[in-house]
Structure 1
């Protein structure tokens, strides 16, 4: 790809009518059409499922295992009356609200062999971010799902330990073309007092599953992507001791991360957040540090696939985004990894000072930070007067208030939620355009994780239509708006 694709005419804002009354009338008519289509879709699906009684019995479809998604607590509780939102006429519904219809335009598996280097930041994503190039959107969403799988692995095995052969780590990957080659564990440098550790052994666990390394081993996918991709995926904060490390915001030297003699920036000047570096460099009892695990596995894979074109992509959310930057810095600093080493981070905090940011970029690591304008985490740790901490790489700035499905007063947990981030990327066209009308990701994933932040209209329609999974199975959503309001706890999952 030599240049970004020209934005289609649909990227421009639609003409706005002269009067508020005319706008309201048009919106109301459009909403009625979309809701009518939605009703017709599910009635048609129900008719298809109930027809053909003479046919041979159909075995239930094997449901794809869903990764348990991180359910961040709601920081601001709302009263029941606060669930009310604007009237239906004031909500602009997407015609692709829940429906599992084939997507418009190029396939999500379109060939990117000729353009993957630009998509991974060869020229700093120039011309690809605003408007967001469709191929880059798919890549970002895909790597977000790798992080989702890291959450799923931890939440299903929170007590996993390194080298446990009796209970090997299972990672629920969304992409069957990839194979997990190694789990990754991070160890906190702090611990509970012995008496408190005995009272709460789960909270006192210092070493926890934080992510994994995976490699694409499908020949067809390697040809489609133009290289063999090694992915390092990392989840966000999930344990008590990880939270304790997050608040250790003092800067410490980062000179052990790279060869000081080879670095263009003085090693003594580059500094990183103390807690992040502790989680990255601390070894556990009988287990190596996260740094050692990553470097060892990457070296092994590079030797195995020597002679092939290989990319290394590090992706993470929240704490995992900070660790991803430290990993990229170490890989490019030691010269073990071929360029590029690309980071796709979601809602990541600041990692180090200006000297560290310069070192990461000068070393050849490419960092794309996906940031929600209403998420507080990317603004932490603070930098009074522009000093101390610095942002790294390029930024793709999203706005949760641009989503027609989320409440405009969505709370801090929703604004930082990984699924909310993926939802916003999937619907983003440009900073001057409304939410993409043909977004392919079902909002019912949001309803499962952040139901209290989804507009009441969508909760009501899902409840009324008794939404069911594509595969024919039901998913229990304890505590979700559907179950609280007495509706069937089932959701429809649309495949991106």
Structure 2
């Protein structure tokens, strides 16, 4: 966890967010051909441009994302409101000048982004705070996606190649030279997967 000081005008460190999500949102690389500017700067400059361009109209801002994108959308919605990017001080529409236009994040399979203090900051950002609609199919983000025939668990592959079942309490014991036994086990698994598979793909 890390304090999102760049996102907070008061630079306080009470609100903590996931360090990885914050890094993805605020990191840039001058050597890269893709992210010389970080995601935050790219989005906020465009939001500022559009709000300024349409400041005399009734506006609303919607941010959306799935999984990692949902985490970034949550940070972005907070950032837009907390730093006033949804306001146009010289706007003819009084609400846009005073409190800013509404900002809503529609997030799907959103992992937890921050702690309790961040939630309090999120809910109270600039008085109104951004709104968040979180769509989850399961209580937590899934560990893997889709059919188990098309994803793999590296630990099981490594056990097949370098481990042998047995040992104490049914645990696998490391047998680096399991060689033939590991290969036979891997071949059996591949045959089982082929027989269950309805697709036309071939394994090895």
TM over 0.5: yes
- The corresponding residue for 1:224 is none
Deviation of 1:339 (Å): 2.8
> Of residues 335, 356, 368 in structure 1, which corresponds to 2:118?
356
> Of residues 414, 422, 426 in structure 1, which corresponds to 2:146?
414
Contact 1:376 1:412 in 2 (8 A): no
Structure with a larger share of its residues in helix: 2
Partner SS state of residue 252, structure 1: coil
The answer for unaligned runs of 5 or more in structure 2 is 87-99, 148-196
Contact 1:258 1:329 in 2 (8 A): no
Number of residues paired by the alignment? 132
Partner SS state of residue 6, structure 2: coil
Partner SS state of residue 112, structure 2: coil
The answer for unaligned runs of 5 or more in structure 1 is 1-250, 262-266, 379-410, 416-479, 486-496
Deviation of 1:343 (Å): 0.6
1:213-248 Cα deviation digits (max 9, x unpaired): xxxxxxxxxxxxxxxxxxxxxxxxxxxxxxxxxxxx
Contact 1:321 1:345 in 2 (8 A): yes
Partner SS state of residue 131, structure 2: strand
- The corresponding residue for 2:141 is 377
- The corresponding residue for 2:51 is 302
Q: What is the CA–CA distance in structure 2 between the aligned matches of 1:275 and 1:300, rounded to whole Å?
A: 28
Q: What is the CA–CA distance in structure 2 between the aligned matches of 1:258 and 1:328, rounded to whole Å?
A: 13
> Of residues 40, 63, 71 in structure 2, which corresponds to 1:314?
63
Partner SS state of residue 17, structure 2: strand
1:300-336 Cα deviation digits (max 9, x unpaired): 1111112011111010000000000110111001111
Partner SS state of residue 332, structure 1: helix
Aligned residues: CA RMSD: 2.3
Alignment map for 1:469-480 (pairs within 5 Å): none
Residue 200 of structure 2 corresponds to residue 484 of structure 1: yes
1:73-132 Cα deviation digits (max 9, x unpaired): xxxxxxxxxxxxxxxxxxxxxxxxxxxxxxxxxxxxxxxxxxxxxxxxxxxxxxxxxxxx
User: Which stretches of structure 1, 4 residues or longer, exceed 2 Å deviation after superposition?
Assistant: none
- The corresponding residue for 2:15 is 270
Deviation of 1:255 (Å): 2.1
> Of residues 270, 274, 279 in structure 1, which corresponds to 2:24?
279
Deviation of 1:414 (Å): 3.3
1:448-486 Cα deviation digits (max 9, x unpaired): xxxxxxxxxxxxxxxxxxxxxxxxxxxxxxxx94x539x
Normalised to the residue count of structure 2, the TM-score between the two structures is: 0.59
Deviation of 1:254 (Å): 1.3
Q: What is the CA–CA distance in structure 1 between the aligned matches of 2:140 and 2:80, rounded to whole Å?
A: 29
Deviation of 1:412 (Å): 3.9
Q: What is the CA–CA distance in structure 1 between the aligned matches of 2:22 and 2:144, rounded to whole Å?
A: 26
Alignment map for 1:7-406 (pairs within 5 Å): 251-260=1-10, 267-285=12-30, 287-337=36-86, 338-363=100-125, 364-373=129-138, 376-377=140-141
Q: What is the CA–CA distance in structure 2 between the aligned matches of 1:276 and 1:316, rounded to whole Å?
A: 13
Q: What is the CA–CA distance in structure 1 between the aligned matches of 2:141 and 2:15, rounded to whole Å?
A: 22
Normalised to the residue count of structure 1, the TM-score between the two structures is: 0.25
Contact 1:318 1:348 in 2 (8 A): yes
